[in-house]
Amino acid sequence: MAFMSAYIEPVSGFWVMTDDGFTELYRDDEEICPNCGENWSVSMDGEQCSNCGAEVEDEFEGFVGGLSASGYMDQSDPVYGETKAEVAQEMLDMYFDQPEDEMDEDELADMEWLEGIAAGNE
């Protein structure tokens, strides 16, 4: 049975270059530096984390999606996109490419939900 369920939600923030050379999102609603994990209030472009010095690259406003398990910290890597449909399509490609007869009811329901969004019905 599927204990992971799909979600897509609006998100805004800033792309930040981490020490590992990855670009990760600083989320306005979390205010956590994606590089050092400390609180970091950013309000404008060009700032850097006062703790670790990680720099803001770009502003981002769009959607984030993924699979989450309620009650668990377990989460898939987030998928970002400028539109809800874009995120839904990417999630379908990443997580729902197995044959339908190998999916359970919850997974099929999630897949249909995502397909509707990807088709622009929401």
Restricting to residues 24-43, name those near Zn ion by CB under 5 A: 33, 35-36
Question: Tokens representing 1?
Answer: 């049975």
Pick from 51, 75, 98, 121: which binds Zn ion (CB under 5 A)?
A: 51
Sign of CA dihedral 68, 73, 76, 82: positive
The sheet that has 5-17: what strands, in order across it?
A: 23-27, 5-17, 56-68, 79-81
User: With respect to Zn ion, which residue has the nearer C-beta, 52 or 94?
Assistant: 52
Local structure of residue 102 (DSSP, 8 states) = G
Decide if residue 17 touches Zn ion (CB under 5 A).
Answer: no
Nearer to Zn ion, 21 or 71 (CB): 21
Report the distance separating Cα 46 and Cα 8, nearest Å. 28
Q: Specify the residue, 33 or 91, whose C-beta has the smaller distance to Zn ion.
A: 33
Q: Is 2 or 27 the residue whose CB approaches Zn ion more closely?
A: 27
Shortest Å distance, C-beta 19 to Zn ion: 9
* Residues 62-121 contacting Zn ion, CB under 5 A: none
52 lies in the site for Zn ion, by CB under 5 A: yes
* Binding site residues, Zn ion, CB under 5 A: 33, 35-36, 49, 51-52, 54
